[in-house]
């Protein structure tokens, strides 16, 4: 019995450690991907840091108003479905989430 308890405790501790490490080490990777995807797929029209000064067109900067009017899901919808003059950008749900997280972390002023 004692041995089983020890094994269970060890398994639990291992799972906790894995969960902790994924949060610590996987999150920055997602942020990094978001930055890369933004740079490749959005910056041309929205500017490298979301200021709207894109190379091929000028758009409204991503500021506080955008985040007041849109939640994450609304932004994700704009990305994958397009909106007005913006074409749909075909990103996977993971890529879309990464871009939204990156934008929230760096352009929510
Ligand atoms: C070909 C140029 C182009 C590209 C590429 C582009 N956008 Fe846009 N985007 C626009 C234009 C133009 C608008 C303004 C749309 C309108 O209201 O007519 C816009 C609007 C938006 C809005 C604001 C919507 C609102 O509710 O005001 C968001 C958010 C957005 N884009 C995110 C992105 C993201 C994230 C990417 C990259 C994954 C991206 N866009 C790529 C041109 C582009």
For 37-51, the pLDDT digits (tens) are 999 999 999 999 999
Separation of CA 29 and ligand 1 centre (Å): 24
Separation of CA 74 and ligand 1 centre (Å): 12
With 80 as the cut, is the pLDDT of residue 24 above it? no
Class of 27-107 per CATH? mainly alpha
Count how many Cα atoms sit within 13 Å of the Cα of residue 42 in the half-sphere of its side chain: 30
45 lines ligand 1 (CB under 6 A): yes
pTM: 0.79
């Amino acid at each position: 019995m004692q041995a089983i308890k020890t094994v269970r405790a060890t398994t639990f501790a291992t799972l906790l450690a894995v969960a902790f490490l994924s949060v610590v080490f996987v999150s920055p990777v997602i942020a990094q991907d978001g930055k890369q995807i933004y740079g490749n797929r959005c910056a041309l029209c929205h500017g490298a840091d979301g200021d709207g000064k894109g190379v091929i067109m000028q758009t409204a900067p991503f500021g506080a108003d955008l985040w007041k009017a849109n939640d994450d899901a609304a932004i994700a919808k704009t990305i994958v479905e397009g909106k007005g003059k913006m074409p749909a950008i075909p990103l996977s749900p993971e890529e879309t989430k990464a871009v939204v997280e990156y934008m929230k972390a760096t352009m929510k002023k």
